[in-house]
Amino acid sequence: MGALSRPEEVVALVKLRVAAGQIKRQIPPEEHWAFAYDMLQKVSRSFALVIQQLGPELRNAVCIFYLVLRALDTVEDDTSIPNDVKLPILRDFYRHVYNPDWRYSCGTNHYKVLMDKFRLVSTAFLELGEGYQKAIEEITRRMGAGMAKFICQEVETIDDYNEYCHYVAGLVGYGLSRLFHAAGTEDLASDQLSNSMGLFLQKTNIIRDYLEDINEIPKCRMFWPREIWSKYADKLEDLKYEENSEKAVQCLNDMVTNALVHAEDCLQYMSALKDNTNFRFCAIPQIMAIGTCAICYNNVKVFRGVVKMRRGLTARIIDETKSMSDVYSAFYEFSSLLESKIDDNDPSSALTRKRVEAIKRTCKSSGLLKRRGYDLEKSKYRHMLIMLALLLVAIIFGVLYAK
């Protein structure tokens, strides 16, 4: 039976569905906390699952940290807000989190609800310990200032690109390291390693989201650095046209190669974590990032539609990531899959190969590798697998509620 071609993913999907049901039952009764966790699931279902790895106190702090920064990001992303209005909001946002009476309506869909009811996030923030509040305030202040800077300038150079990604994601790495330290669960990680944790995730998202970002209404905001894309096109939007596919893929490969430089720092950061719940919280997104890089690399579909990891593989990663052995194995396998796609005629192929080999060498030297059997191909039996998974979930819930 075709559905059995990836039985391990069926099992992982069932576990993921059960875990999602448990999250809904764990939402606190207080209005502000109920809103926070409900909103977290709506703006990022995957993060809502990953955050459950943390202990209750730290989970609350990270939940609010995420929502505060998501609200700040909503202001930055809303291209309908005039700059003379947007810039002061970005720069002062760290003050607004202390004021439950502050409100600014912007964004769309769930993000508009988040902004309209931001008072509930502020109320929850004010219940956090002072150490958590100060860490969130500091990162929000620095991120808002950085976002304001790049509202007024384009991402021209690779240095600009690294600086922008630092403001919007590297600082998140700083903040999480500070929250872990405030909770007493970890030593304070170096800023360089914390920064790389954020940059690897952010650069992967920027690469994957090319088409969505370039087509944004009323106007696009792009963060691919001119220093890279100008080698392949006169205008960044030209890459989405079919006649430019060869150059587009070469530019894409250059961007992925740039992101890979952060992978070894990420491995070093994760290897130093002492608390297993913190470890899983950090490791799962990083494995998703290296997997997404492998999917995107040399893949013209990035310029045609949505490219992302299939749900079954995502479920496996969430279920199976429990130790550094799992991380090294995943990074090794996804790097090997990326390596298999390198075309020696690609302009950046030599550097890509060098960076992939460095990642694989780090993983191999750990002595902790094991075979996971991850692959990136979509199964022709995908819909059958999903139907079987849902059937199993129905059976499990039927048994549980019958008891």
Active site residue 208: yes
Alpha-carbon span 296 to 308, nearest angstrom: 8
**Rounded-to-10 torsion of CA 13, 16, 21, 22:** 150
Alpha-carbon span 188 to 387, nearest angstrom: 45
Alpha-carbon span 170 to 190, nearest angstrom: 12
Q: Catalytic: which of 17, 221, 311, 353?
A: 221
Q: Catalytic: which of 6, 70, 208, 310?
A: 208
Q: Catalytic: which of 111, 281, 328, 374?
A: 281
Tokens 């780090």: give the residue.
362
CA angle, corner 206, sides to 116 and 284, nearest 5? 85
Active site residue 310: no
The candidate with the shortest Cα–Cα distance to 235, out of 310, 154, 326, is 154
Alpha-carbon span 64 to 60, nearest angstrom: 6
Tokens 């046209």: give the residue.
241
Question: Which tokens sit at 5?
Answer: 């071609």
Active site residue 164: yes
Q: Catalytic: which of 164, 174, 200, 374?
A: 164
Alpha-carbon span 132 to 125, nearest angstrom: 9
Alpha-carbon span 74 to 115, nearest angstrom: 8
**13 phi/psi in degrees, rounded to 5:** -65, -40
8 A C-beta contact, residue 218 and residue 79: yes
Q: What share of the chain is helix, strand, coil (3-state, %, to 5)?
A: 75, 0, 25
DSSP reduced 3-state for 244: helix
Q: Which long-range contacts (CB under 8 A, 24 or more apart) does 124-131 make?
A: 124/32, 124/33, 124/35, 124/36, 124/60, 124/63, 124/64, 125/64, 125/68, 125/97, 125/98, 126/98, 126/100, 127/32, 128/60, 128/61, 128/64, 129/57, 129/61, 129/182, 131/182
Alpha-carbon span 153 to 87, nearest angstrom: 13
Catalytic residues: 164, 208, 221, 281
